[in-house]
Chains A and B, each alone.
Chain A
């Protein structure tokens, strides 16, 4: 289990808990005190990221794809913050 608590500058906290194998995400939980509407979309983002390599270009592309496809609105956390939080979890020790 890898984890990171990432505080978006001027924004909210994103907590990442994930399991990875060979640098790919096996399972993932995103939580925190940010806003994302409509709310049920967070589960879609988690599903989209399963199997993704923990590398910035791929994560950025998937997060962008999620925002473009779902037209969600986030507040307190940006697309870049989500990518940074995931990359922080790559380095993060298990809990």
Chain B
């Protein structure tokens, strides 16, 4: 779905779209990453974690049911993102999520290049692209994710941790639940995200179903790309 929607939006056959979704335990690799460097396959086996590759750059993220993902597809030239500059896109299209988190009481801030942080800890990472006639931005929010599994399945290079002055990936990330000190559902966070985007962008989001074109294209992409180890593990492009 993640690739099908921006393609169809770019063709002009679907409206500008925000999609919310979540996965069971999965590592999602950035499109330029090498699986054997980023993934602890033994820990994946032990925890039932799958590995897939997305079509956008950036770093590997861990998803589970305590995670909320959002994806924004805007037809190129949309007034919110008038310039084709990826850093501006990340900044602008993170604003809605930052605003949503703040309404929940989380002191979130956008941290370039592509993170949302609370007191120096990452609560959300984003990635995106400009292609197929679409400006695309997606992000994942750690709502109540299992950070101990996250710390086991991802091999975070020491050079990155050292640069950020922390000893482990677990000390660099946080969840919305931990920041609020209470249990919170992904549904509640989704409602806050919708409100944050509507306020930040001066729009009204309308709930809608995926079109037949989008569903058919998603099926084709799954069969020809996202279900294949050549793509997920090897980056055969």
Contact = CB atoms under 8 A, between A and B. Distances in A.
Contacts of A40: 237
Looking at A5, A30, A76, which has the most chain B CB atoms within 10 Å of its CB?
Answer: A76
Contact of B86 (A11, A13, A33, A73): A73
Contact of A5 (B129, B159, B235): B159
Contacts of A51: none
Interface residues of B, number: 30
Contacts, number: 73
Interface string B105-126: 0000000011000000000000
Interface in B128-150: 128-131
Contacts of A36: 32, 57
Q: Identify whether the interface residues of A are mostly helix, strand, loop, or mixed.
A: strand
B85 interface: yes
* Most chain B CB inside 10 Å of its own CB: which residue of A33, A39, A42: A33
Interface residues of A, number: 23
Given A33-B57, A34-B57, A76-B113, A39 B163 contact: no
B87 interface: yes
A37 B237 contact: no
